[in-house]
Chain A
Amino acid sequence: MKMINAIIKPFKLDDVREALSEIGVQGITVTEVKGFGRQKGHTELYRGAEYVVDFLPKLKIEVAVTDASLDQTIETITKAANTGKIGDGKIFISDITQAIRIRTGESGEEAI
């Protein structure tokens, strides 16, 4: 089982969610985050005083998938979240040691 952490632009959420449900992904967690990669910030003025806007709003999407569906899920997210412009985001994959469904107690791939 793998955990996919995808940082995407906020307005891409609907596209990504629709694309994921089309390939049968049933669960998703979304958090509002701020961040930057190599996308530079810019300066703004508040009451005449300069400040740098380097942390930009993003969304972090967490999806747990089986090993078998990993590649397809990555490809789906990449396609749906892509705009071709700087700041599109990144995807990180990590191993899931265990997964449990709270209501029923199922574990392992059944829980995903």
Chain B
Amino acid sequence: MESNLNYIFELQYAMDTFYFLVTGALVMWMAAGFAMLEAGLVRSKNTTEILAKNVSLFAVACTMYMICGYAIMYDGGVFLSGITTVAEMDDAAVAAVLASSTEAGFGDMSDYSGASDFFFQVVFVATAMSIVSGAVAERMKLWAFLFFAVVMTGLIYPMEGSWTWGGASVFGMFELNYSDYAGSGIVHLAGAAAALAGVLLLGPRKGKYAADGSVKPIPGANMPLATLGTFILWMGWFGFNGGSTLKLGGIGVANEVANVFLNTNAAAAGGLIGALIVSRILFGKADLTMILNGALAGLVAITADPASPGPLASTIVGLIGGIIVVFSILAFDKLKIDDPVGALSVHGVVGIFGVMVVCVTGGASVSGQIVGILTIFIWVFVTSFIVWLILKMIMGIRVSEEEEAEGVDMSECGVVAYPEFVNN
């Protein structure tokens, strides 16, 4: 009898580990989504650079989080010294895990591989960082961005992550009473806060805002890529929200996971419809770029609590997010804050909305959510602003006017995305 139980515990361990790995891989796939979405919404002369930015930030994020980020956020040990290696997982170690599993029973936090936990967490860091790349597109120096990424992924994000998911107190001063299932605030608002700090110091693209107050559109070069990117993000989000359940092995929790997938999808659909309708009403036509932002807004909106609501409520949460995002995009342009892909609106403004919605759907405390939002935003915005400022003073963060006109593909990468159209 006891040995059968051991097999079941081993299976549960394996299943929960497997779940982290697969959902982590789905979130990793979101990096492709961001890359394609951004590549589609910038001009062709800036395509290579934004792709280089996206792949590089992913690599930087994974490395910095391994070096110190995970240690800061979860006490995981510098250079992941706290994680059991393959060599260390000998028979005695397995027996020890089995013993602790038996003691815990089929409870909430069964065991799983520490390496799988890191894998799942590291892809979230990369997601937060990639939010910044779209907002600063077409005029930022690539290397300034990457240096910022080192600090954001190694320190800034892990700190606020430690106060929230990590459960630590904020500099020993107070503890947060903050509910954020998969990170509307912790990941999305944080990314947007870092982006906002950068965009304010960077300035708008040349020619975007005329002296008379009119806004000049700078259309993206590739709508198929932008759409593909959005669908990739949509699918990856099943891992983003689904994996945040943190466990699969059990009837109750499996049901929770299923509802999370369902609600995530419903919110995306609602967000898209919301943006579609608003676009039709305001512009008379279906602006694809707004619709894509709407789907993503729906996803961000549900991310703080994809488990508690029913499917209709999730659709409505998404719908409201999709409506908000269109107006937010227009508002940022009115404020002359240039955001080529709408990242500040999708992740920042709707991120805040998503966090506050948990007061309605998940019974979070209003003050707890507000304090959480303010803590995350102020920490990330201020530290990011300082880092961007230092970078601006040391090396400059903006390319020259000629480089911006010629396209950052040439100046930052020396590789043009579509060379046949330039020189046969």
Contact = CB atoms under 8 A, between A and B. Distances in A.
B422 to A, nearest CB: 15
A85 interface: no
Contacts of A47: 217, 287, 289-290, 329-330, 333, 342
B166 interface: no
Interface residues of A, number: 8
Contacts of A44: 285
B216 A48 contact: no
> Looking at B217, B219, B290, B329, which has the most chain A CB atoms within 10 Å of its CB?
B217
B214 interface: yes
Prevailing SS type, chain A contact patch: strand
A45 interface: yes
A48 B342 CA distance: 12
Interface string A30-67: 00000000000000111111110000000000000000
Classify chain B: how many residues form its interface, as a range: 10 to 19
B285 A45 contact: yes
Nearest to B287: A47
B171 interface: no
A47 B334 CA distance: 12
B279 to A, nearest CB: 9
Nearest to A51: B217
B174 interface: no
Nearest to B289: A47
Contacts of A50: 214-215, 217
Nearest to B290: A47
B322 to A, nearest CB: 15
A104 B290 CA distance: 57
A3 to B, nearest CB: 23
A27 B191 CA distance: 58
A49 B208 CA distance: 10
Interface in B325-382: 326, 329-330, 333, 342
A109 B215 CA distance: 55
Interface in B216-273: 216-217, 219
A45 B283 contact: yes
Contacts of B283: 45, 48
Contacts of B329: 47-48
Contacts of B285: 44-45
B282 interface: yes
A48 B282 CA distance: 8
Contacts of A48: 215, 282-283, 326, 329-330, 333
A48 B339 CA distance: 13
7 contacts: A45-B285, A45-B287, A48-B326, A48-B333, A49-B216, A49-B333, A50-B214
Interface of A: 44-51
Given A46-B219, A51-B216, 5 more contacts: A45-B284, A47-B289, A47-B290, A47-B333, A50-B217
